[in-house]
């Protein structure tokens, strides 16, 4: 893909710089240890796609970007960062985006408390400014993310995830967050409920396409890169594998499920599963569905008036499905 996130972000570059300053301020604490950890978290920020979705979505409406938009973006970042800190504790993960995780550097007890602190900062930011509509949107997203994670854990024990359940999981785990970004942007610009829902649905479609792309990284193609099989090693049932199992005979399906359950991180066993998925058309099926959801998102987006922000959101959709990491 030729276009970069920096180029996509260009129309709101000034707002993003201002947001970063305000976000740093929102994380400050008088407790020295906490302030040190907050500084560390801010330094390891990722692509910043979430605030981009918030700002671009706000600009789709006449009200445009307001102070509430900055607060909404900060609320999402605070609550999402809290969930990531807690996730690293649950997963016993030592790294996040190439950096040491908070629990790796400061141990689990401190990491849990830091997550709680971030959660409370987000809630108070909204309550102090009477942003109850924004808080409702984001709180629903956090609830859905938790439910999706628990549903995946429940199903992973038996590896009985159907395509319908898979989409329920990724809609809640991944898509609900991007959907809330777009809904928050619309709400902060004074959009009515019907348009807020339209923005939310747009974000949900993008989020589903985003997760399917992540699934494809586990198998690798000329476009995607080297197969890694991390999801298979972790016994996660993703769309390419679910489709391949649906096409298989009873005996082959049983063997492949056994391989996933008992791979124990062995590369040769994981390679067998990857080959099975590729030979069964699992990748082609997942790619086709990814494009379908991306196109559905574009259809919703094109019901809004043409603008630089609409163009940037179109570019974000393309970036989502064409990215190589």
pLDDT for 97: 66
What pLDDT score was predicted for residue 10? Answer: 87
Instruction: Give the least confident one: 56-65, 97-106, 165-174.
Output: 97-106
pLDDT attached to residue 1:
52
Span 194-198, mean pLDDT?
A: 96
pLDDT reported for residue 223: 44
- The band of 322, judged by pLDDT with boundaries at 50, 70 and 90, is confident
Any residues with CB less than 8 A from the CB of 318 and at least 6 apart, and which?
1, 3, 294
Distance CA 315, CA 9 (A): 10
Please say if the pLDDT value at position 245 is more than 50: yes
Asked if the model's pLDDT at residue 222 lies above 60, the reply is no
Query: How far apart, in whole angstroms, are the C-alpha atoms of residue 299 and residue 3?
Result: 21
In this prediction, residue 185 has a pLDDT band, given cuts at 50, 70 and 90, of: very high
Q: Which residues pair with 63 in a beta bridge?
A: none
Residue-level pLDDT at 224:
43
Task: Calculate the average pLDDT of the chain.
Answer: 86
For the segment 268-306, what is each residue's pLDDT rounded down to a tens digit? 878 888 888 999 889 999 999 999 999 999 999 999 999
Domain boundaries, the chain: 5-322
- Residue-level pLDDT at 40: 83
Listed range (58-67, 91-100, 112-121) with the worst mean pLDDT: 91-100
Average pLDDT over residues 147-167: 83
Residue 135 has pLDDT above 90, yes or no: yes
What is the mean predicted confidence (pLDDT) over 80-99? Answer: 78
- Residue range 25-42: average pLDDT? 83
> Per-residue pLDDT for 226 more than 50?
no
DSSP conformation letters of 74-132: HHHHHHHHHHHHHHHHHHT--EETTEE-HHHHHHHHHHHHHHHHHHHHHHHHHHHTT-H
pLDDT at 206 over 50: yes
Handedness of CA 199, 179, 13, 133 (dihedral sign): positive
- pLDDT at 25 exceeding the cut of 90: no
Q: Give the mean pLDDT of 51-59.
A: 95
CATH number of 5-322: 1.10.600.10
Position 38 pLDDT exceeds 80: yes
C-beta separation of 241 from 279 below 8 A: no
At residue 37, does pLDDT exceed 90? no
Rounded average pLDDT over 131-149? 91
Does residue 196 register a pLDDT over 80?
yes
pTM: 0.89
The pLDDT value recorded for residue 265 is 67
Q: What whole-number distance in Å separates Cα of residue 7 and Cα of residue 312?
A: 9
What's the rounded Cα separation, in Å, for the pair 224 and 141? 29
């Amino acid at each position: 893909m030729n276009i970069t996130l920096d180029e996509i972000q260009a129309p709101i570059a000034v707002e993003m710089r201002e947001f970063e300053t305000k976000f740093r301020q929102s994380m400050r604490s008088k407790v020295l240890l906490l302030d040190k950890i907050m500084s560390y978290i801010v330094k390891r920020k990722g692509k910043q796609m979430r605030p981009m979705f918030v700002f671009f979505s706000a600009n789709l409406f006449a009200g445009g970007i307001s102070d509430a938009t900055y607060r909404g973006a900060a609320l999402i970042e605070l609550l999402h960062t809290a969930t990531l800190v807690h996730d690293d504790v649950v997963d016993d993960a030592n790294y996040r985006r190439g950096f040491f995780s908070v629990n790796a550097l400061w141990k689990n007890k401190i990491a849990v408390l830091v997550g709680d602190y971030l959660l409370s900062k987000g809630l108070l930011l909204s309550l102090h400014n009477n942003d109850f509509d924004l808080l409702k949107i984001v709180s629903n997203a956090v609830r859905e993310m938790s439910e999706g994670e628990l549903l995946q854990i429940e199903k992973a024990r038996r590896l009985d995830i159907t395509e319908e359940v898979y989409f329920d999981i990724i809609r809640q785990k991944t898509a609900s967050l991007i959907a809330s970004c777009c809904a928050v942007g619309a709400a902060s610009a004074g959009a009515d409920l019907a348009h807020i829902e339209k923005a939310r649905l747009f974000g949900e479609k993008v989020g589903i396409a985003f997760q399917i792309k992540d699934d494809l990284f586990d198998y690798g193609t000329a476009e995607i890169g080297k197969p890694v099989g991390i999801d298979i090693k972790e016994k996660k049932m993703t769309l390419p594998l679910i489709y391949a199992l649906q096409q298989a005979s009873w005996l082959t399906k049983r063997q492949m499920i056994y391989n996933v359950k008992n791979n124990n991180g062995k590369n040769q066993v994981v390679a067998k599963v990857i080959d099975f998925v590729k030979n069964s058309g699992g990748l082609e099926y997942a790619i086709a569905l990814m494009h379908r959801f991306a196109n559905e998102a574009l259809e919703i987006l094109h019901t809004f008036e043409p603008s630089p922000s609409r163009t940037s959101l179109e570019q974000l959709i393309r970036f989502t499905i064409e990215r190589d990491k």
